[in-house]
Chain A
Amino acid sequence: KQEVTQIPAALSVPEGENLVLNCSFTDSAIYNLQWFRQDPGKGLTSLLLIQSSQREQTSGRLNASLDKSSGRSTLYIAASQPGDSATYLCAVRGGSEKLVFGKGTKLTVNP
């Protein structure tokens, strides 16, 4: 059974810092991996989708990497801003239509 872990559960950094969020998964036979952002009381916003054949995806200040062999993905945020404060979730899709979600990392960027 696929399990997805995100460490740390919470992270607090000063504005302007570059940071890395981690996501690990137990079964490397994945179809894709997706990173989301969730603001309090809101739905999830898709940030980046990495297909199993890809190694990384970039969007603006965000870069996500995927290493299937080690069961890891990282989300790199460059030059963090207070507006980046949110909970970040990763989700892994295996052979079925189901995604398995991590519990998220709550990021606080302090001005």
Chain B
Amino acid sequence: DGGITQSPKYLFRKEGQNVTLSCEQNLNHDAMYWYRQDPGQGLRLIYYSQIVNDFQKGDIAEGYSVSREKKESFPLTVTSAQKNPTAFYLCASSKVETGELFFGEGSRLTVL
């Protein structure tokens, strides 16, 4: 079945450590996105990529980094510079033709 796979589902990190969240899609979508969801805040865009080897900052990119070396993959690294990294992270992709957005199941990061 086609879809978006995020891993790990749960991740615990000590302060000062970088962690990388994986996002893989087999929908043949060109565009991919990373969102952060916090209680009461709604979804906020971290980074997005419309094509391989190119990506743009979203509204809250500070403390995060991404790469897009393959069409299917868009990993997100949460660096030690991110001041409040504990959150639910959602990866999404979309079809250029319609703009319809599809999401993965999310990764919950907790900083201890």
State the A residues within 8 Å of B (CB): 31-32, 34, 36, 41-46, 49, 51, 89, 91, 93, 97-99, 101-104
Contacts and interface: CB of A to CB of B under 8 A. Distances in A.
Contact of B45 (A46, A49, A98, A104): A98
B100 A44 contact: no
Please report whether the interface of chain A is mostly helix, strand, loop or mixed according to DSSP. Answer: strand
B105 A91 contact: no
Please report whether the interface of chain B is mostly helix, strand, loop or mixed according to DSSP. Answer: strand
Contact of A97 (B42, B48, B100): B48
Interface residue tally on B, bucketed by range: 20 to 34
Contacts of A93: 99
Contacts of A36: 103
Interface in B92-109: 92, 98-106, 108
Nearest to A42: B105
B99 A31 contact: yes
Given A43-B104, A43-B106, A103 B58 contact: no
Contacts, number: 53
B20 interface: no
Contacts of A91: 43, 101
Nearest to B10: A41
A98 B106 CA distance: 19
B50 interface: yes
B21 interface: no
A88 B3 CA distance: 21
Given A31-B99, A43-B105, 6 more contacts: A32-B99, A32-B100, A46-B100, A51-B98, A89-B43, A97-B48
B107 to A, nearest CB: 10
B86 to A, nearest CB: 15
Residue from the set B31, B48, B58, B103 with the largest chain A CB neighbour count within 10 Å: B103
